[in-house]
Structure 1
Amino acid sequence: MILSMSGVVLLGIIVFLFFRKAGLKASHAVVSALFGFYMANTAIAPSIKAGGESLASLLGGIKF
């Protein structure tokens, strides 16, 4: 739950920055959000979730 919430917050910040700085149109953001909601109901959703968790653990394991 914490990982998915932090992922949502991170993606929200990225979309906000694209909207403010890179010229992302509101319609593009809405279409992207709807695409994400529809992808969550498909058979590929577990693979996407596993990939996100794998990436998060990889980034979490980096030592500076």
Structure 2
Amino acid sequence: MALSISAAVLLGIIVAVLLKGGHVRSDSALACTLFGFTLAATGLAPAINSGLTSIAGLLSSL
């Protein structure tokens, strides 16, 4: 059985776990989130998306 999960959901879960464990403060998590939204609006977004798609394809073939 294959499980499909969005990268946004997976990263959101990781951030929630890090916040709950006290490894990341809420202001740092907010700054990283805002940076991600800002980065998504730049010309670098297609290259990042392509890289994530390649990594996901590589992991799914394992």
Classify the TM-score, shorter chain.
Answer: 0.7 to 0.9
Q: Which residue number corresponds to residue 34 of structure 2?
A: 34
Gaps of 5+ in 1: none
Question: How high is the TM-score relative to the length of structure 2?
Answer: 0.86
Question: How high is the TM-score relative to the length of structure 1?
Answer: 0.84
Asked whether 1:15 is paired with 2:15, we answer: yes
Residue type at the aligned position of 1:60 = S
User: How many residues align structurally?
Assistant: 59
Runs of 4+ in 1 over 6 A off after TM superposition: none
Gaps of 5+ in 2: none
Larger relative contact order, structure 1 or 2 (CA cutoff 8 Å, min sep 6) = 1
Tell me the C-alpha RMSD between the 2 structures. 1.5
Asked whether 1:58 is paired with 2:58, we answer: yes
Give secondary structure in 1 for the equivalent of 2:6: helix
Alpha-carbon offset, residue 25 of structure 1: 0.4
Alpha-carbon offset, residue 22 of structure 1: 4.3
